[in-house]
Amino acid sequence: MDQPVVVVTNKPYPETIAFLEPHCRVIANDGVEPWSDEQRLAHLRQATAMMAFMPDSVDDALLAACPGLKMISCALKGYDNFDLDACARRGVVVAFVPDLLTIPTAELAVGLTIGLARNVRAGDDYVRHAGFAGWRAQLYGKGLDGRLVGLVGAGAVGRATAERLAGYGCRLRYFDAMALSEAEERRLRVERTSLNDLLADSDFVIVCLPLNPDTLHAIDAGAIAAMKPGAHLINISRGSVVDEKAVADAIESGHLAGYAADVFELEDWAIEERPRAIDPRLLAPGAPTLFTPHLGSADARVRMDIEHQAAEHILQFLRGEKPTGALDLPAP
C-alpha cells in the first residue's frame, strides 16, 4: 500500500522529517522562502496531511483542489488565516500547538518594550555608523520603573507578559472582556480597568489580543487618539489588531512617542483588503519604531518542540486517533 503523503510547507528541522519519515512520505520545503501558491498547490494535491506555518492560509478553494487533504497540523498558535468553516464542511481535521508559544512571545514583548523605550535601535545605529567616541548627553529614553503599563488582553500571552513585567517595578493594569479571578490578579499584581481608562493613563500599551472580526483594528485612530500623549504602543499579537496607518499618523503628529511590533498587517493573509506593505513612514530613518520579523516563537528549542508536537498530531491522525491539539469543529 502506498504511504500517505505529508507536506511540510516551510523549512523544518531535520529531526522533524526524521520523526515523520518512518510513517509517511514527506515532501518538505528546503528553503527559507515560502513556496509560491502554485508550488504549494502542486504538492498539496498529493497530500493526506499538511504541516502549516505562519505564511500559510487555507480556504475553501484550496481544499476543493486538494480532496485528499484531510488533516492540517499547524506549527503556530493563531488560526485566523484558516477557514475553519470550510475545513469543517469538508471533514478536514485542524490541530494547533498553542501552549508552547506563550512564553517566548511574552519574553519578546518585554524585550520590544524596553528596546523601544530606551532607544536601543537608534543607539545601535549611532555606535555602528556615527563615529561613537564615548557617552554623550543624548538618546534619553523612558524606563519601566514606576510607569503604568496597560495590557490590552489578558489571555495566555497577556498573563505571561504581566508575569514577566512584574519584576521591573512598573504598575500593571489590564483590559479584557472577561475578568481574571481575584487570586490571579493578586498573583500577577494587575488591576482590571476599562479600555478607555487604560488608554488614557498608560505610559506603555501592549496589545495581546487574538485576531477575529471583533478585534480587527481594535487599536484604530480613535483608540490611539484616546491614548496618553507621549505613550508607547507595542503589538505582539496580530498585525491587523492595530491600524498601522493610524499609528504612522500618530507618530507623525507627535502624539505617540513610539511603536514596536513583531507582527504586521501584511501577514494576515485571510484579510483581502490588508496592506501589502508596511507604511513607509514607520520604516523611515529616525522613526521612533522598533520591529522584529515575527520572532515571537523564534526560540530554537521552542521551534523544535513546536514542530515535534505538530508532527505528533499528524502521526496521531494517521493512526486513526484524534490529535491532542485538534479543534472541535462542527461535523460536516
Q: Is 267 a catalytic residue?
A: yes
Question: Of the listed 40, 232, 238, 303, which one is catalytic?
Answer: 238
List, in sequence order, every residue forming a beta bridge with 148; answer none if it has no partner.
171
Q: Give the chain's end-to-end CA distance (angstroms, integer).
A: 28
**What is the spatial distance between Cα 228 and Cα 231, in angstroms, rounded to a whole number?**
6
Question: Of the listed 255, 267, 274, 281, which one is catalytic?
Answer: 267
Question: Of the listed 294, 303, 308, 313, which one is catalytic?
Answer: 294
Sheet holding 25-28, edge to edge: 25-28, 5-8, 49-52, 71-74, 93-95
Place of cell 521591573: 168
- 98 with 74: CB under 8 angstroms? no
C-alpha cell at 98: 498553542
What b/e sequence results for 67-98 when a residue is b if at least 16 CB atoms lie within 10 Å of its CB, and e otherwise? Answer: eebbbbbbbbbbbbbbbbebbbebebbbbbbe
Residues belonging to the chain: 332
Q: Is 238 a catalytic residue?
A: yes
Read off the amino acid at residue 173.
R
Q: Is 313 a catalytic residue?
A: no
Query: Catalytic site residues?
Result: 238, 267, 294
